Structure 1
């Protein structure tokens, strides 16, 4: 296993300190934003040293390349994009604080996701459907590196999937915008141009996310270790556990122990840099 260290601006002095700390015998630049520390060994001080230098890191098998994978699966809210869509929709009702508190509890794993979603969506009853468009156009932004990541994955031949506990209104537009091969999310019920406060069909929760990953993986004839999954909260735990390589992006604490890599400082395109495809 090799230690790969990355950041948008790598401090070479900090890199050398980490190499010394882990006993690495060579430091090789992989991309402008990533370095391989050959012969590095785990050290209890590694996490603190990387955090102090604002570096992300991961342990990768020798020779592991992006093209070895066949499927990339990502969460939407607070992973691919910068907002929790339901919180911003609730803001149109003057209920953002109340809904955001429920969202945060669910992301931390403190309450069941299905219960939290039903409670939050019920508070949206009566809101004009046009509010969804306003959130998409005026508040939603891609997280740093998202477009570059998708372009790199597609160049490498990976299929891509967006799977969310959020809503199809947003996943459908992001799928068209970024070229995802698959997209799954919850459908908000609308009657007479207004939200009813209910979900149509089965709820996409953490278990459903993992099930979508496993089904598409099997349809493509891939092994578990050929899947990369990215998320940020408790609802993404089953999905990351079902993937060969799990990435936690700006994660809640509950997800850190499940992930193979936490991107606290790099953009989403740090995934390309990890595997040497971030030129």
Structure 2
């Protein structure tokens, strides 16, 4: 196994501290944002030293390449984008604090996602559907590295899927904007231009996310180890467990515990920098 260290801006002193701690014999640059520490040995202080130096780290099998993968699956809210869309929609009703508290409890795994979604969507009843456009156009931003990540995946021939416990209004627009191959989410019911406080069809929860991943993986003829999944909260646990390589992006502790890699100091494109072959 090789130790890979990365960050949006790698501090050379911090990198050398990690190398010394792990008795690294050679530091090999992968990209401007990532380095492979050859011969590194595990050390109980590694997590602390990396955190103090603003570095992310992961142990990867020798020779692991981006071309080893065939499917990338990602969550939307607070992973691909910088907001929880439902919280911002609720702000139009003057209910952001109440809805955000339910969202946070669900992300931490403290309450069931289906229950949380039902409670939150019900509070949106009567809101003009134009509020969705307001959120998309003026509040939603991509998280750092999102565009570079999708471009790199496309160059590598890796299929991409956006799967969210959020809403199709946002996933479909992001699919078109970024070039995702597939997108799945919950559909808000709208009647006479107003949200009814209900969703249409089956709820996309954590298990549904994992099911979409497995179904697409099988359709593409891929093995579990050929799938990368990224998320940030409890609702992403089943999806990361179903993937060969799970990435916790600026994530809640409950998800970090099941991830292969935690990115706290890198953008989403840190996923490319881990592997480094022709990522641009």
Q: Which 4+ residue blocks in structure 1 deviate beyond 6 angstroms?
A: none
Q: Distance in 2 between matches of 1:83 and 1:17?
A: 35
- Which residue number corresponds to residue 150 of structure 1? 150
Q: Distance in 2 between matches of 1:47 and 1:271?
A: 19
Q: Distance in 2 between matches of 1:119 and 1:125?
A: 11
Q: Distance in 2 between matches of 1:85 and 1:10?
A: 32
- Which residue number corresponds to residue 256 of structure 1? 256
- Which residue number corresponds to residue 236 of structure 1? 236
Counting only pairs closer than 5 Å after superposition, residues 37-116 of structure 1 correspond to structure 2 as: 37-116=37-116
The secondary structure found in structure 2 opposite 1:161 is strand
- Which residue number corresponds to residue 19 of structure 1? 19
Runs of at least 5 residues in structure 1 that lack an aligned partner in the other structure: none
> RMSD between aligned alpha carbons?
0.7
Q: Structure 1 residue 9: deviation in Å?
A: 1.5
Counting only pairs closer than 5 Å after superposition, residues 158-197 of structure 1 correspond to structure 2 as: 158-197=158-197
Q: Distance in 2 between matches of 1:109 and 1:45?
A: 28
Q: Structure 1 residue 11: deviation in Å?
A: 1.4
Q: Structure 1 residue 257: deviation in Å?
A: 1.0
Q: Distance in 1 between matches of 2:47 and 2:209?
A: 29
Q: Distance in 2 between matches of 1:274 and 1:29?
A: 11
The secondary structure found in structure 2 opposite 1:80 is coil
1:270 and 2:262 correspond: no
Runs of at least 5 residues in structure 2 that lack an aligned partner in the other structure: none
Q: Distance in 2 between matches of 1:234 and 1:8?
A: 25
- Which residue number corresponds to residue 214 of structure 1? 214
Q: Distance in 2 between matches of 1:98 and 1:257?
A: 28
Q: Structure 1 residue 2: deviation in Å?
A: 0.2
Q: Structure 1 residue 243: deviation in Å?
A: 0.3
Q: Structure 1 residue 43: deviation in Å?
A: 1.0
Q: Distance in 1 between matches of 2:187 and 2:208?
A: 14
The secondary structure found in structure 2 opposite 1:135 is helix
The secondary structure found in structure 1 opposite 2:79 is helix
